[in-house]
Amino acid sequence: MATAIMNYKPYPTEKNIAMAAEALVTAHPCLKEKSSECGWYGWKWSLQYKMGNLRTKLARAGCLEVSVNSGRRSHNNPDKDHPHHNIKKARRAEVNYLPNFPKGQDATTLENVRLQIMQEVERSEKNLLLIDKLMQMTFALRRLEIVKENPMVGDFLNRWPALRIDSQICAEFHRITNVNLQNQFYSGLDIHTPRLLILFRQKAARTGKASETLRNILKLYDQQEEQDADAKRTLVLHGLPLYLREEEPQFFRVWNIEETPEPDINNTPVGVLTIINEKQ
C-alpha cells in the first residue's frame, strides 16, 4: 500500500493518507475497525509510519527524490535543519521533479556531458538534434542543481546555455511537466482572443497615442484576406502591451540572425522575440 502511494506522491498530506485509508477499508470491508467511528483511523496512522519507513529505505538506496531531504537534524547532528521544515517536494505541475541519474551515469560523467553541451552551443552552426539528446541525458543533473542548490537564474543559464534556445525552453518545460508549452500557451491565448479583440476595438475608438497605434494594427488586420489563427495571435500579442500601456519597444524584439550572433534581450525580462532569417 505504501509503495502504491509512493508512486503518486512521495510526501502525501494527512488528507491524502486519510483518503487512502478510507479507500483501503472500502475495498476490503473485513479490514474495517470496529473501535473507531470512521473505521480506518488506525490504518491512517499505520500508513503514515509505513510511508516514513519507505522513504528512509529509498533514501538509503539512493533515490534522489527522497534522499535530497535526508541528513537533517538528529541526535548526531543537532544543529541541522528540522526534519519537517522546508521539505523539498514536487509542486502540482512538476511530474518529473527529481529523477534519478540515467543508468550507468553519475554526477561526474554528466558534468562532462554538460561541458560538451557548452561546446556545441558555442558553435556557429549548432547541431540541435545532438544538443537535445545531451540535454535529455543531463536532465536529472539540472534538476538536482535546482532543487538542492537553488541557484540564481543567471548563474544557472551560464552553466546551461542551451536553455537560451527557444526549442530547449519548450523541451525542458515538457520534461518537467509533460505538457507542450507552445500548445498550452496558444490554447489559452485562443480562449481569450475574442474578448481581447472586442477590448482592442473599444480602445481604438478613443483618442490618444495608444489608441491610434491600435487603430493602425486593427486596420492592417482587417485588410488581410485570410484572418487565420496565426494572424489573430499576432494581433493580440502586438495589441496587448499597447492596451496595458506598456512601452512597446521593451516588449517586442527583432533578431536578424544574419547580422548578430545573439539577440539583444539582456534588459528584457519578458517579451516577444521575432527571428528573421534572410536565407529562408
Q: Between 37 and 76, where is the model more confident?
A: 37
* Tens-digit pLDDT profile for residues 249-276: 566 677 777 777 777 777 666 677 767 6
Residue 278 has pLDDT above 60, yes or no: no
* Four-residue CA torsion sign, 146, 151, 152, 153: negative
Residues 6+ apart with CB under 8 A from 48: 14, 17
Q: Where are the alpha helices (DSSP H) in the chain?
A: 2-8, 14-27, 41-61, 64-67, 107-122, 128-137, 139-144, 153-159, 166-177, 181-204, 209-222, 229-243, 248-251
Residue type, 36: S
Residues 6+ apart with CB under 8 A from 279: 258
Cell of 70: 535526508
Residue 16 has pLDDT above 60, yes or no: yes
pLDDT of residue 41: 86
* pTM of the complete model: 0.68
Phi and psi at 210, nearest 5°, equal -65, -40
Residue 192 has pLDDT above 90, yes or no: yes
Torsion of CA 156, 158, 161, 163, to 10 degrees: 30
Q: Three-class SS string for 65-115? A: HHHCCCCCCCCCCCCCCCCCCCCCCCCCCCCCCCCCCCCCCCHHHHHHHHH
**CA–CA distance, 268 with 243 (Å, rounded to integer):** 19
Cell of 37: 467511528
* Cβ contact 211:243 at 8 Å: no
Residue 7 has pLDDT above 90, yes or no: no
* Cβ contact 195:148 at 8 Å: no
* Cβ contact 141:107 at 8 Å: yes
pLDDT of residue 79: 62
